Amino acid sequence: MPQHISFEVLNMTSSIQNRKYATEITAANEGERVSIAGWVHEKRDLGGVFFLIVRDRSGFAQVTLPRKKTEKELFERVKRVPRESVVAIEGEVKREQKAPNGFEILPSRVEVLSEASQVLPLDTTGKVGAELDTKLDARFMDLRTEKTKHIFVIRSRILKAIRDFLDVRGFIELNTPKIVSAATEGGTALFPISYFEREAFLNQSPQLYKQMLMASGFDRVYEIAPIFRAEEHDTTKHLNEATSIDVEVAFEDHEYVMTLLEELIVFAYTNVVDYPGLAKLDLNLEVPKVPFRRITYDEAIEQISGAGEEIAWGEDIGTSAEHTLGKIIGELYFITDWPCAIKPFYAQPAGEGKDTCNAFDLMHPRLELSSGSQRVHSYELLKQQIESKGLSADSFEFYLDSFRYGMPPHAGWGLGAERLLMCMLEIGNIREVVLFPRDRKRLVP
């Protein structure tokens, strides 16, 4: 128990602030005086020599204390630092073939910035596994493990790649409201919230808003933001809070946005394959080639039926049919020309005498990654389609209004960020790729 609370932490020495990351140090720094700071990953006491493996964001550094050459007090103190405590080390770099990275640090000063309680909620070295539930309960510590850390670095790389990709193509990133007034299109359940004296909802999709922006003159927009769905499904691919990557483009059709989407996916993969940490994830990542295969809904039904699974024209493709088809195709593909009946009201019908629309889904063999379409831009048709789906045009007035004063033709899609990440990294459960996932049961942490 501490006798008093000190302000030590505010007086961090400049050596800590000027510290190096573990991987910035090499044997070439021999003789230099360096500072590092991080977590006590492992301790190895061999009697006459003591090794402290310090982990930071970049990797590991070995701190070596030979008993006879180390001041007794320092030696004893270091020996007693609990694993996962935060320490700052100052010392001299020594070239050493027997050390993990060809060098070690002979410390002159060891500062314990924060002592870790024992026993730890999970093992950070990877010797003993932990179940997903255990990992999520102690996520802050799970993030100290190599595999989990890399998942989130890769997630960041993917999102940056996507922003870069869209930015150079003239897109503007905008943000639409997450608190909305009314249940939008029926279907998906919404989370009701209390909004002053009224009831409001968390938005399930930026769809209506990004379309309204097409009437603004911003003809190429995107948004990367959370969406909320109150579905009670409990699966490995659903979340109640997810990240949606939404794109909408004016003066273009579904074909254009499909090409944009496949090129964007390839660009994201390209920015992940050269990430060094990928090696820790034990998978063989290959960049897909464009164009992705395109099959029509009709062909999809045929293939699924051919594989012995009964599915009638006009039915949605269920989970098992999706898997059957995924196995047959075996790579990323589009399903195009969907029946109007199973696509939302804003999907543009293909034309006279056809009961299909200009909508598509981007599929990974495991699951759906994205869906999009050319949108209806005619006020009259849109209103008619809303009503024919059994919805009330009145509750869509704010949306429909934007179609009355000059709405260009447009198209777009929404892509699930977590689904892309889990498929790319071959991770079984979508919760693994979310820091603090929200599902039917989990609201904490």
Partner RNA sequence: GCCCGGGUGGUGUAGCGGCCUAUCAUUGAGCCCUGUCGAGGCUCGGACUCGGGUUCAAAUCCCGACCUGGGCGCCA
**CB of residue 298 vs RNA: minimum separation in angstroms?**
19
Among the candidate windows 38-46, 155-163, 212-220, 278-286, which touches RNA by CB under 7 A? 38-46
Question: Of 266, 288, 257, whose CA–CA distance to 158 is shortest?
Answer: 266
Which residues ranging from 46 to 85 are in contact with RNA (CB under 7 A)?
46-49, 51, 62, 64, 66-68, 80, 82-83
Among the candidate windows 15-23, 26-34, 293-301, 427-435, which touches RNA by CB under 7 A? 427-435
From residue 235 to residue 264, the character string flagging contacts with RNA as x (rule: CB under 7 A) and all else as - is xx-x--------------------------
**CB of residue 155 vs RNA: minimum separation in angstroms?**
19
**CB of residue 43 vs RNA: minimum separation in angstroms?**
7
Query: Can you say how many angstroms the Cα of residue 173 is from the centroid of all Cα atoms in its chain?
Result: 18
**CB of residue 12 vs RNA: minimum separation in angstroms?**
26
CA distance readout (Å), 344 to 43, 314, 418 = 59, 14, 23
Residue 99 CA to residue 92 CA, distance in Å, equals 14
Burial of 444 (0-12, 13-18, 19+ CB in 10 A): exposed
Specify the long-range contacts of residues 179-184, CB closer than 8 Å, at least 24 apart. 179/203, 182/395, 183/395, 184/208, 184/396
DSSP string covering 253-286:
-HHHHHHHHHHHHHHHHHHHHT-GGGGGG-----
Question: Of 171, 169, 207, whose CA–CA distance to 188 is shortest?
Answer: 207
- Position of tokens 């100290």? 144
Q: Which residues lie below 8 Å from residue 42, measured CB to CB, with a gap of 6+?
A: 51, 52, 53, 83, 125
From residue 267 to residue 306, the character string flagging contacts with RNA as x (rule: CB under 7 A) and all else as - is ----------------------------------------
From residue 161 to residue 200, the character string flagging contacts with RNA as x (rule: CB under 7 A) and all else as - is -----------------------xxxxx------------
Positions that interact with RNA (CB under 7 A) = 42, 44-49, 51, 62, 64, 66-68, 80, 82-83, 96, 98-100, 104, 118-123, 125, 127-134, 184-188, 204-205, 207-208, 229, 231-236, 238, 316, 318-321, 323, 343-344, 371, 414, 428-429, 431, 441-442
